[in-house]
Amino acid sequence: MANYYSDTAGSNTAPYDTWAKAATNPQTIVDTATAGDTCYFRGSYTQAATLDFDTNNGTAANPITYVGTNASGVEDGTFYTLDGNSAATNNININARTNLQFRNFKGINATGDGYASTGVPTGCHMDNMEFSSAGSDGFAAGNYYRCSISRIKANNNTAYGFNGTGVENQMSFCEAIGNGSVGIFCGNNALTYCVSHNNVTYGIWLNTGVPRVFGCVADGNTGVGFQLNGNASTLHLCRATNNTTYGVDNSGSFNVYLLMCSFFGNSTSATNGNVTHLDQATLTSDGYTDQANDDFSLSTTGEGVGIATKIGGQGATTTIYPTSGFPPAYPSASAPTFAGITSAVIYTNGVIKARWSAATGTTTGYRVYIRDDNSSIFTSTYLTLVAPSSDTSAFIVAEADDTMLRAGVTYHIGVRAVNNATEDSNTVTLNFQISPMGAQIKLPVVIANA
């Protein structure tokens, strides 16, 4: 398991195993690395041709890893930049490779796609990358299979932001903004906490298979927010706002289920076609913190479902809004009188719906707790805060203490009423077990003002 280095300031001396000997052309070490090796890249490189990953494969146990670093050669989220210089067809092309891992790459000015793939890349992982100003698609994943794509931006490309029809992939915390066609196009995959904003045609286009979509935002697109072509999809905890036609449009015959989705400002109507709602929320504002700076978390007055504070990009975090510390500190107040949780329903997709009776006295919200240890449920950080409303309930797709909810494990759910920062002392909890289907999904979802 060797390390290789590329930097235009290196001496280009084989075996390229130090920064001093670094290869000046990144293709050199890409073609050298084999299973278990790691390639480090720093600075930027002006391309005359595509950087092709078409020689060697990793394995599940020993992938080949490609990492961008800062000027000191340390990985801290700093991008290694590939500039296509309007000469390279693609910044990166993955040619039917398996078990490759990429972190901290930026591609600009390709004449074709920023990221492209041919064949069926399998078991690959891409994290913290950005592709912009491409002559075609930003991230053209093609027929990828069982890959994970996280914290990737595809912005201001001529055609699609993300374009891929593969299956059994996970796409999370990604962003498509200002592209000349569809923001995100995908097949039978899982999308979690992705944002598609200000694209032409569709924000998110779910075209094949049965995509699973959680906590995603389609905002301000010229056309439909979420476009579905009749596949029996389910959208959970998504937001469709400010799109110029429909928030969600299903043009096919299969029914699409919308679970606790939120809508605002879609010019034609919230939904169209064969769509079934479960607890739809019609908002009074879009509620985002700062769309202009890619912050689609909820403001302190935002309604509905919050997502990541910052999506994708160099050094970005994936903090969920808000996992704790909400509401902010207030002067001490009297706790409400509260009878506690009354029921908890577990859907086959792993979504929990908890209900309770309204508290009496001044109530600013309800804190929902979930643990697999009943004795300490109320000593941990609460999972989510729900604002008081006539419908005292919450939908939750949850983790407890960073542990995925697992099939066959007994969990305990409890609710406490709160007046600013002061809780009632109610200790009523209910037990439940989650389904195997739901246990496959690891999603730390937070509900705010449901």
Rounded CA-CA distance 197/225 in Å is 9
Predicted confidence band of residue 331 (pLDDT cuts 50, 70, 90): very low
pLDDT at 273: 87
Residue with tokens 């020993």: 62
Mean pLDDT of 195-206: 93
Mean pLDDT of 124-140: 95
Under 8 Å between Cβ of 168 and 189: yes
- Which secondary structure element, helix H or strand E, spans residue 437, and what is its range? helix 436-439
Mean pLDDT of 103-128: 94
Residue with tokens 């002006």: 46
pLDDT at 402: 32
Q: Enter the DSSP assignment of 133.
A: S
At 140, list the tokens: 């053209």
pLDDT at 69: 96
Predicted confidence band of residue 426 (pLDDT cuts 50, 70, 90): confident
- Is pLDDT above 80 for 436? no
Which has more pLDDT, 363 or 223? Answer: 223
Most trustworthy range by pLDDT among 133-137, 139-143, 166-170, 361-365: 133-137
Closest CA to 236 of 250, 218, 262, 215: 215
- Is pLDDT above 80 for 108? yes
At 438, list the tokens: 């739901």
Which has more pLDDT, 242 or 261? Answer: 242
pLDDT at 333: 58
Domain annotation for the chain: domains and CATH numbers: 1-115 (no CATH), 137-314 (2.160.20), 341-439 (2.60.40.10)
Mean pLDDT of 47-61: 95
Rounded CA-CA distance 405/398 in Å is 7
Predicted confidence band of residue 324 (pLDDT cuts 50, 70, 90): very low
Using one digit for the tens of pLDDT, what is the confidence trace for 280-293?
A: 777 788 878 788 77
Mean pLDDT of 252-271: 83
Which has more pLDDT, 368 or 53? Answer: 53
pLDDT at 409: 64
Mean pLDDT of 429-437: 52
Q: Enter the DSSP assignment of 26.
A: H
Mean pLDDT of 387-409: 49
pLDDT at 275: 84
Predicted confidence band of residue 312 (pLDDT cuts 50, 70, 90): very low
Hey, how many other C-beta atoms are within 10 angstroms of the C-beta on 222? 13
Q: What percent of the chain has pLDDT over 70?
A: 74
- Is pLDDT above 60 for 446? no
pLDDT at 447: 28
Hey, how many other C-beta atoms are within 10 angstroms of the C-beta on 292? 6
pLDDT at 347: 54
Which has more pLDDT, 406 or 55? Answer: 55
Residue with tokens 């609710």: 415
Which has more pLDDT, 244 or 146? Answer: 244
Query: In angstroms, what is the C-alpha Rg of the chain?
Result: 23
pLDDT at 20: 98
Closest CA to 171 of 254, 250, 221, 115: 115
pLDDT at 231: 62
